[in-house]
Structure 1
Amino acid sequence: MKPTVTIIMATYNRAQYIVESIKSIQAQTFKNWECLIIDDGGTDNTAEVLGPILIEDNRFSYLKRTDNYTKGLPGSRNYGLDIAKGDYIIFFDDDDIAHPQNLELCVSEFKTKNIDFCRYIRAVFTGDFNYNYDFSKEYTHFEIDKKDVNRILKNELLFNSCAIMWKKECFVTNHYIEHLMYAEEWELYSRIVSQGYKGVSIDKILFYGRKHEASNTGEFFNQDPVRIKSNAAAIVLVIQNLKKEGLLSNSIIRYFIQVSLDYKPYDLFKRIIKTLELTTQDTLKWNLYYSQLPLRLFFYRLYKKHLK
């Protein structure tokens, strides 16, 4: 039977966590799925610990990323996208835990609403996981479309990589940018929404992310230069897309110019200005804004502190 959902799980040296993640997939109340486990060239005993599961449950496929895709999470996920059989796509990480109702509730939203994606809440945990799930099916929801792109880009509306189920059609012309080693899902998901794809967000925790320093996010907040450089590159790509889709505004330009203060070693401000292809007058305006920004932020923080 053709699977309804394809779960794509890229993995790299996570033998200590991956079995627990796999067990949470097997515990799903919705059963018609396939799970593509794409190994990005790991050197630990992941294949060995997965062996018994692969034998007992043929819904899992364990594959090595081919050389047609760049090494890294984006390339591994793109490989999964290109061989997926399901009508819906969801990305799970190899160290996290999925709520048992994850697939069931998302598929139900697709069956009852004309949507392209279903977003839900992702919680985080450290150490041992508490399996005390909430199985309620009562929750609120709200709609998301391209008017919400700026909220997504400012992380006011989080689009976590493992907190959205998508229609497969969203990826026909959209894939991950494979040279990005951080913010690749932020760039891709905002690009998809900017093209007019619509969805809903349901107010229920359906995924649990494990916090540890070896994760991509942990490395970013520990100032790993590869992740920082990638985030700067993703910002430039986002601005290119906003320009293409006619969604650039002064407010989002101001936001990214402010962000660029933290990326001076990567010349992010100059790259933003170059990407915008502004008139001479507008270039001077934004250069003046950028030069005055540190002083503005200093007085703004003093003002906020005074209000407390």
Structure 2
Amino acid sequence: MNSLVSIVIPNYNRESLIRETLDSVLAQSYSNWECLIVDDGSTDNSVEVIQEYTKKDSRFKFIQRPSNHLKGANACRNIGMQKAKGDYIIFFDSDDLMMQHHVESKLKFMLDGNLDYAVFKSKNFGQPDDVDEELDYSYYKTYEFNADNYLLNNLRFFTNDLIVKSDVAKKCEFYFKYKADIENVLMTQLVLLSNKNGFKDENVTLKRYHDANITQSLEGNKKKGLKHLFFYYYNVLDYIYDLNASTKAKQFILNQLLYNYRNLDFNLEVSFFEFLWKIIKFNRPSLLLGIITHRLKK
């Protein structure tokens, strides 16, 4: 087992945390990796911390997001993914920790099953009661790991849970338009592109619990949550048609898009007419009528 694994980590102002994250990468039982840290224009000293690691170990690579490139964690993930030289790619966050067997376990599972991508488990750490929390992955025992069950929200996974064949990952992209960092769009592309996947009931990631955690603050903020859902369903429309999702999945996505649109009480960056045109293309008169009616009531 000697495949090169690329670890892609976006960073923004993680001076106080990223050292611990990079130490967990250094401690991996599998040694043939490269770690690409893509900085999103940090204003603290995290770049200096990262450069300490690039100087002492050539497997660490520092990349600065170009100033003319859109900002955001997903934009940085896309940059890192395109520059990755590995046979496999693992996406990771700058505030979380890899267990020592993280890379080795993921790679072995991929090779043994000849998979295009795989999902492992994460658990939370650093909570106020100092008790690590096992996250719920029980739905993998109930539902088959396929595109329909992912699109119908029967299954879910975190970015850190993934390992993907590099050539498969590079056919996809993380969504970063309209300032909405939505990882699910890449995951949707993966499940539609290939069913050569697998789930491993093994914890390999420690997800840090803290107030600045993007996912937790998103879940706790209704406005951001609605925006997140709207843009996920809005953007994924292109993929479910281009990549031939089932009729059931298409119907569900369209219904969810309309439901979330009706619940929005604020303006979106996306043009209403751009939104309308996308729906017109799908030839859904009832959905179109619902959107126009809601717009007229605003």
Alignment TM-score > 0.5, same fold: yes
Does residue 284 of structure 1 match 2:286?
yes
- What is the CA deviation profile of residues 94-139 of structure 1, one whole-angstrom value per residue up to 9, with x for unaligned ones? 000111111111111121112100101121223589899xxxxxxx
Partner of 2:136: none
Distance 1:127 1:16 in 2: 17
Partner of 1:160: 158
Partner of 2:4: 4
Partner of 2:66: 66
Partner of 2:90: 90
Partner of 1:105: 105
Distance 1:264 1:170, change over 3 A: farther
1:193 to 191, 194, 200: 191
SS of the equivalent of 1:175 reads coil
Q: Is the 8 A contact 1:28 1:99 kept in 2?
A: yes
How many residues of Structure 1 are paired with residues of Structure 2 in the alignment?
281
Distance 1:23 1:201 in 2: 27
Q: Is the 8 A contact 1:3 1:34 kept in 2?
A: no
- What is the CA deviation profile of residues 143-193 of structure 1, one whole-angstrom value per residue up to 9, with x for unaligned ones? 633343324xx2x31121111000001133322233254452101110221
Deviates more, 1:140-149 or 1:120-129: 140-149
Q: TM-score under structure 1 normalisation?
A: 0.77
Deviates more, 1:203-212 or 1:43-52: 43-52
Give, in angstroms, the shift of residue 290 of structure 1.
Answer: 11
Distance 1:12 1:285 in 2: 39
Does residue 41 of structure 1 match 2:41?
yes
Q: Is the 8 A contact 2:123 2:206 kept in 1?
A: yes
Does residue 149 of structure 1 match 2:143?
no
SS of the equivalent of 1:90 reads strand
Q: TM-score under structure 2 normalisation?
A: 0.79
Distance 2:239 2:229 in 1: 15
Q: Which runs of 5+ in 2 are unaligned?
A: 133-139, 294-298
Distance 1:215 1:67, change over 3 A: same
Deviates more, 1:225-234 or 1:107-116: 225-234
1:237 to 235, 245, 249: 235
Distance 2:230 2:78 in 1: 21
Partner of 2:137: none
Deviates more, 1:51-60 or 1:32-41: 51-60
Distance 2:11 2:108 in 1: 28
Distance 1:24 1:219 in 2: 25
Distance 1:35 1:98, change over 3 A: same
Partner of 1:205: 203
SS of the equivalent of 1:100 reads coil
Deviates more, 1:160-169 or 1:188-197: 188-197
What percentage of aligned pairs have identical amino acids? 24
Q: Is the 8 A contact 1:69 1:76 kept in 2?
A: no
- What is the CA deviation profile of residues 188-224 of structure 1, one whole-angstrom value per residue up to 9, with x for unaligned ones? 1102211235210111111121122323223423438
Distance 1:180 1:215, change over 3 A: farther
2:177 to 162, 179, 184: 179
SS of the equivalent of 1:10 reads strand
Give, in angstroms, the shift of residue 274 of structure 1.
Answer: 5.0
Runs of 4+ aligned structure 1 residues displaced above 4 Å come to 127-132, 140-143, 224-228, 266-274, 285-291
Residue type of the partner of 1:111? Answer: L
Distance 1:197 1:67, change over 3 A: farther
2:278 to 260, 267, 275: 275
Does residue 124 of structure 1 match 2:133?
no
Distance 2:55 2:85 in 1: 20
What's the C-alpha RMSD, in Å, of the aligned pairs? 3.5
Give, in angstroms, the shift of residue 88 of structure 1.
Answer: 0.3
Deviates more, 1:270-279 or 1:257-266: 270-279
Flag the structure with larger Rg.
1
Partner of 1:257: 258
Residue type of the partner of 1:275? Answer: K
Q: Is the 8 A contact 1:8 1:35 kept in 2?
A: yes
Distance 2:259 2:56 in 1: 53
SS of the equivalent of 1:119 reads strand
SS of the equivalent of 2:90 reads strand
SS of the equivalent of 1:105 reads helix
SS of the equivalent of 1:28 reads coil
Give, in angstroms, the shift of residue 56 of structure 1.
Answer: 2.5
Distance 1:85 1:98, change over 3 A: same
